[in-house]
Amino acid sequence: MIRFAALAAAMLLALAPAAAQQAAPPRPGLARAAEKASEKPQDPLQLDARAIPLGGALRSPEAWLAYKARFVTEQGRVVDTANGMISHSEGQGYAMLIAVAANDRAGFEKIWGWTRANLMVRDDQLVAWRWEPNQRPAVADMNNASDGDLLIAWALAEAADYWGEQAYKIAGRRIAVEVGRKLILLKTKFGSLLLPGVSGFAGEDRKDGPVVNLSYWVFPALSRLPLVAPDVDWAGLTQSGLDLIKTARFGPSGLPTEWLSAAGGDIRPADGFAKTFGYNTIRIPLYLAWAGIGEREHYAAFANAWSARGISVIDSQTGRPTEAMSEGGYSALVALTLCVTSGRPFAADFRASRASENYYPATIHLLALIAAQMRYGSCFKS
């Protein structure tokens, strides 16, 4: 999958010296449709930002059973079918979360056990980001990915809360505190910033550092991690993410690029990365909606782009689609976003899984379904 090929390249670029020549920042702009919308004031979004427990929230257990059968091995390894059958901390974290939502404690324990044995191989409490089945060692890159760390810590916090297991709480706290200690930059010009990994993204590592990725702000996790780590300023991190979504708007589409430089006084696309809105950043409205937070301005560029031409990779400089995201699971993300912004009802097949889909769109679909069942019941047709 292009998404993880780009992430692997991002890790390599992040660890390499910064480009000697700074790229000229693209012209920032708002989506044309967003500008038109601003001429006609709309009612504020009516969202419910309560921190809702995840345990048992999935009311379509057959969806989890189908997902588990296709993507989770007997040992608990989550397989990325479009990316060389590798596994990664993100996928393990997502599956752990879905298992809690489906009230599948045995499945959760199996996935957590594999994660603990195979990815928690660093000399701290964070999680190695990638495991490759055809390589020895299977973990060749010891860097972490902060979104994977957050997802796993959140899943452990929810499991501890739902099943009353103290060991899960202790494990979740260890990861969450380490994220706060090593990956959150406090008191920057932009508020708290979340580094994508311990190595390669800070100002000491790159001339354009710190470099961040807005899809790593897992907003529903940030509202629930106080269960295990109340001493970390998750609320401050949430606010900085909301602020950055309003700031990181580039070109005619007004959408954020995947990798952003926070060096100096402005947010701009980071050096050495494709200046595109893509497979990572599509998760931004998913996380906003799942947490029940944000204003119209936070969702507008996503809703406008997707309602006009569907979901795709977009060149931030031209505003043009460069690659359609054609697998059906991505449409659930569009449906969720338009439910939030306009109250559009979900289609009759919103719950239906698709047997031919790869890991990532199938995961996006299942996460959007959980978010919808937790917070947006009004968009389900009676």
pTM for the model: 0.91
CATH code of residue 291: 1.50.10.10
C-alpha 168/C-alpha 272 separation (Å) is 39
Active site residues: 90, 147
What does the pLDDT read at residue 23?
35
Q: For residue 379, is it within any domain? A: no
**Cα 56-62-65 angle, rounded to 5 deg:** 90
Pairing of strands 191-194, 130-131: unpaired
**Dihedral sign from CA coordinates of 182, 187, 190, 192:** positive
CA-to-CA dists, residue 225 to 126, 245, 293, angstroms = 15, 21, 16
What does the pLDDT read at residue 209?
98
Q: Summarize pLDDT for 276-295 with one digit per residue, the tens.
A: 999 999 999 999 999 999 99
**Contact of 220 with 287, CB cutoff 8 Å:** yes
Please give the residue range of the domain that contains residue 153: 2-7+27-47+57-374
Q: Summarize pLDDT for 191-246 with one digit per residue, the tens.
A: 999 999 999 999 999 999 999 999 999 999 999 999 999 999 999 999 999 999 99
Q: For residue 140, is it within any domain? A: yes
| Counted domains in the chain | 1
What is the arithmetic mean of pLDDT over 87-111? 98
Q: Please name the amino acid found at residue 43.
A: D
Q: Summarize pLDDT for 253-275 with one digit per residue, the tens.
A: 999 999 999 999 899 999 999 99
Q: For residue 22, is it within any domain? A: no
Residue 356 has pLDDT above 70, yes or no: yes
Structure token digits, residue 242? 């909301």
What does the pLDDT read at residue 42?
81
What is the arithmetic mean of pLDDT over 345-371? 96
